Structure 1
């Protein structure tokens, strides 16, 4: 019997939707990216992921309680494209990661989504030399330049997804080890021939790194949103986001959990 289940709150047609994995890793990059996308794109909650292994907490925002792992979705442009975002501020325990990854992929395939992107922080020593970045056009926005200063690498599960990275000038992560949920999702993508992309940005192992998250968000903006998302607020509010996440962990008594999430050396 599975110990993880998805509880549907609102029915929505998600055929062809883009999916973002918002579970945390180094620098809480995934959590910050997910929360920003939900807010910026005005996505609404459609489901929760529930398990006896998840933290026994209720996330309170604007007086409304919610589960530790939520699924938000909605249309992101006038063409009717949809995005799904898994949002979590807590790192699932290692022994359930495989089951969680399979549950996520089963749900994504059941709803006929088209692509899953997993944002990840990566330690500086593991990032390797910075890839060559084409010179920016004069009209490029200043916030995009700042976000691009944090180099982003990508790894994909299928030839089609790798070609997508190349077409958008995102350098390929050529060698190393990706552990945790992102690694499981990549492997599941290979096994199912489903497009899964992990985006890696250099992040601090010591605190929530909103600037690394902004770099990944800029890459997502380029890959699937045609540059329509405004990244500037995330850059401007980086310090506030970092402070808010730290306070959340303090209030929940999860100081040790934060250190577990941001330990260095997850990639090699």
Structure 2
């Protein structure tokens, strides 16, 4: 039986590495995943790779009867950004090997920036409906030295994939950032996804049209509701501690 005593392994296959890697994963509210998926559609990115996994319960999404990889990489020749759309829930015990696989990939292919789009389920008021960042100092100097309308997260802890990536970034040349925002239980949290897209756009000047986002999210609603139910079930079984706060 696969469980916390078994170490999963991840294999990244990608044809066209770029200097910036942007990722959205399956987590509460699915805001980061929705944002990443929308970016690939709006920028007309093509699937150029995927991430496989062993020793971890996997899902195989499908649409119109056709299956696809649960974690896919998208890019295009005239844009120096790769977007990771991760529909596989990575439990806390698998965060380290998954983070290591991503970081080995960034080292091998000369990736300079890695950005994770991530919603966080925390208590908040209306004034907190905005984007925040947690970023390595070199990322802040390179990308956030200006008026981007993104606020530094005052304090807290990062765990899971975000924590693994940021821990490595502290002592390496990789510039890393988590763009985050409070999320609600509805799936997908469109408003939260919109804030994450706006934050990413303000940093990288991608000229993303967010007008069709609600319609796009509706097309994913049924699929993502099922994914959210699976995610919540696994969260309850593993009871990870959410320690990130404002």
Task: Bin the TM-score by the shorter chain.
Answer: 0.7 to 0.9
**C-alpha displacement of 1:103:** 0.8
1:129 shift after superposition: 8.7
- On the 8 A contact 1:60/1:66 being kept in 2, the answer is yes
CA contact (8 A) 1:48 1:71 kept: yes
Structure 1 position 19, deviation (Å): 0.9
Does the CA-based 8 Å contact 2:10-2:54 persist in structure 1? no
Distance, in Å, in 1 between the alignment partners of 2:10 and 2:208 is 32
Within 1, Cα distance between the matches of 2:228 and 2:119?
19
Question: What is the CA–CA distance in structure 1 between the aligned matches of 2:191 and 2:240, rounded to whole Å?
Answer: 18
Q: C-alpha displacement at 1:249, in angstroms?
A: 5.4
Q: C-alpha displacement at 1:248, in angstroms?
A: 4.9
Deviations 1:159-213 (A, max 9, x none): 3425622412311112111221111111111121311110111101464312201
CA distance in 2, matches of 1:90, 1:260: 16
Quickly say closer, same or farther: Cα 1:264–1:6, change in 2 above 3 A.
closer
- Using structure 1 for the length normalisation, give the TM-score: 0.76
Which TM-score applies when normalising by structure 2? 0.83
Identify if the C-alpha distance between structure 1 residues 68 and 100 changes in structure 2 by more than 3 Å, giving closer, same or farther: same
Deviation at 1:215, TM superposition (A): 0.6
What RMSD, in angstroms, separates the aligned Cα atoms of the two structures? 2.9
Aligned length: 238
Matched, 1:256 2:238: no
Per-residue deviation, residues 115-142 of structure 1 (Å, max 9, x unmatched): 11111112342x58947xxxxxxxxxxx
Unpaired segments ≥5 residues, structure 1: 132-149
Select which of 110, 116, 119 maps to 2:117: 119
1:262 Cα shift? 11
